[in-house]
């Protein structure tokens, strides 16, 4: 069966389109798998107490155990945040039960004023979480110290680290990491324009 040049061009274009769609979906699958890993680790850390730890508490003096527990540093989980278009690592999210720190790679120079950082990530995503927490704090459902908050550490005008304290919920953690990755990818695209 012979095809005209125009038909061959159309077939090549269709093939290229399919390859791009496959890449896009593979990236999405990888991101979902990372999120599952995060959630599994958070669940593992917060939901279960080892039987060996329970027996140690019963056999030791309470004052000794409390002082030892208060000096231990909470375990930190590290998750890479990748560029949605090329898969390169943009930042790493360091997760503890109290906060998530998103630390940009050394070679990343992203100005804090580049859209959609403030308009989307800070104002819409974190801002909405903060509004809900503030309402819950006013109603007495949570303490005021538990309201989500953020700190942006910069080197000049470039973002170095975003610290989000009191994320409190696994769903929020997942949303923060996903939207941070999306926002940073869009910011890099806007810088290149």
Full DSSP string of 177-191? HHHHHHHHHHHHHHH
Predicted confidence (pLDDT) at residue 30 exceeds the cutoff of 60: yes
- Could you list the residue range(s) of the whole structural domain that residue 146 is in? 5-192
Q: Check whether 61 has a pLDDT greater than 60.
A: no
Average pLDDT for 36-57: 57
**Cα gap 78→90, rounded to integer Å:** 13
* Beta-carbon contacts of residue 160 (< 8 Å; ≥ 6 apart): 103, 104, 153, 154
Strand-pairing partners, residue 150, are: 164
Per-chain mean pLDDT for the chain:
81
pLDDT at 50 over 80: no
pLDDT the model gives residue 62 = 39
Check residue 164 and give its pLDDT: 95
Cα–Cα distance, 139 to 173 (Å, whole number): 23
Tens of pLDDT, residues 94-115: 999 889 999 999 988 999 999 9
Question: Could you read off the pLDDT of 119-141 as tens digits, one per residue?
Answer: 999 999 999 999 999 999 999 99
pLDDT at 55 over 50: no
Q: How many domains does the chain have?
A: 1
Model confidence band, residue 87 (pLDDT cutoffs 50, 70, 90): confident
């Amino acid at each position: 069966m012979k095809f005209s040049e125009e038909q061959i061009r159309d077939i090549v274009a269709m093939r290229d389109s399919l390859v791009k769609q496959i890449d896009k979906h593979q990236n999405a699958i990888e991101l979902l798998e990372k999120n599952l890993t995060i959630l599994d680790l958070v669940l593992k850390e917060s939901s279960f107490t080892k039987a060996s730890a329970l027996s140690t508490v019963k056999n030791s003096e309470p004052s000794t155990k409390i002082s030892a527990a208060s000096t231990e540093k909470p375990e930190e989980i590290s998750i890479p945040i990748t560029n949605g278009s090329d898969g390169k690592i943009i930042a790493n999210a360091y997760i503890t039960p109290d906060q998530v720190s998103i630390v940009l790679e050394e070679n990343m120079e992203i100005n804090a004023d580049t859209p959609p950082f403030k308009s989307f990530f800070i104002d819409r995503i974190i801002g909405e979480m903060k509004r809900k927490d503030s309402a819950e704090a006013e109603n007495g459902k949570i303490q005021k110290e538990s309201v989500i908050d953020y700190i942006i550490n910069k080197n000049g005008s470039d973002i170095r680290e975003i610290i989000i304290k009191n994320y409190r919920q696994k769903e929020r953690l997942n949303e923060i990491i996903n939207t941070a990755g999306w926002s940073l990818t869009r910011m890099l695209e806007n810088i290149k324009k």
